[in-house]
Amino acid sequence: MDHDLFNYSVYIFFGALPSLLWLQFYLRKDVKPEPKPMILKVFFYGMLCTIPAIILEIAFYRQMEALSFFSTSVAFAINTFLGVAFVEEALKFAVIRLKVLNDPEFDEPIDAMIYMIVAALGFAAAENLLVLFSVGKQYSAEIGFLFPFLREQTLWQELFQVSLLRFLGATFLHALSSAIIGFFLGLSFFKKERRGLLIGAGLLFGSFLHGLYNFSIIKVENSLDVFIPFFLLIIAAVFVSLGFKKLTQMKQSA
């Protein structure tokens, strides 16, 4: 029992670590730090979002399978962009809409980007845990049965590799795509009459980046299968960095 508890602790550590590292990085962008209880609350609700996300994604996938007039490629693209990317980004935004938008602590344009990133990293942490528990289960069944004396070392190596890849890839993607939504939400501080349009644009661009990244890592082959996702993340990271500066400048000049 103690051995299993230790393993679960290892999974949680490696699953949460990518999100916590990015969280520390992006919280430094805010010169007026948000209250820690609020950060924890949004992070936790971001984690909880994985539950409805899984339910909705499975339902959407089954619905696409039932619509036989779509080709396999078209159905895959629709599912990637709408059934996965849009669903996840919409749920992360829902956390901010329901739990943050009307809170007195949400008082600066840059807060929109910060809180969207926090919700996204909570979502990514839960997603990482699901992936790593799956990795652990597979290794326990395959390697642990045949070579029990190698299981711990091999499992730790695999968990570290998966955690590192998700730190550089999926976790970073979640933070960036949601930060883009947060940027457009932040713009609405200055253009309240266009808030709905700006939020819609943010969801569109954030979901498009998310879907394009997922599509590229699954469908693109040869040397481009690494270059395209890397290029997308770099472009998105630059946009988000400029977004923080833009909102700060607009606040100062307002």
User: Does the pLDDT value for residue 196 go beyond 60?
Assistant: yes
SS3 category, 221: coil
Higher pLDDT, 138 or 237: 237
Residue 45 within any structural domain of the chain: yes
Residue 6 within any structural domain of the chain: no
* Structural domains in the chain (count): 1
Residue 223: pLDDT band with limits 50, 70, 90 = low
Query: What pLDDT is stored for residue 149 in this prediction?
Result: 43
Distance, in Å, from the CA atom of 44 to the CA atom of 55, rounded to the nearest integer, reads: 18
Residue 53: pLDDT band with limits 50, 70, 90 = very high
> pTM here?
0.89
Higher pLDDT, 162 or 207: 207
User: Does the pLDDT value for residue 76 go beyond 80?
Assistant: yes
Residue 16 within any structural domain of the chain: no
Query: What pLDDT is stored for residue 3 in this prediction?
Result: 53
Contacts 24+ apart (CB under 8 A), 20-24: 20/121, 20/125, 21/167, 22/117, 22/121, 22/167, 22/171, 22/172, 22/175, 23/117, 23/118, 23/121
Structural domain that includes position 179: 35-253
Query: What pLDDT is stored for residue 222 in this prediction?
Result: 63
User: For 97-127, what is each residue's pLDDT tens digit?
Assistant: 999 998 888 889 999 999 999 999 999 999 9
Query: What pLDDT is stored for residue 251 in this prediction?
Result: 85
Q: Average of pLDDT values for 125-137?
A: 83
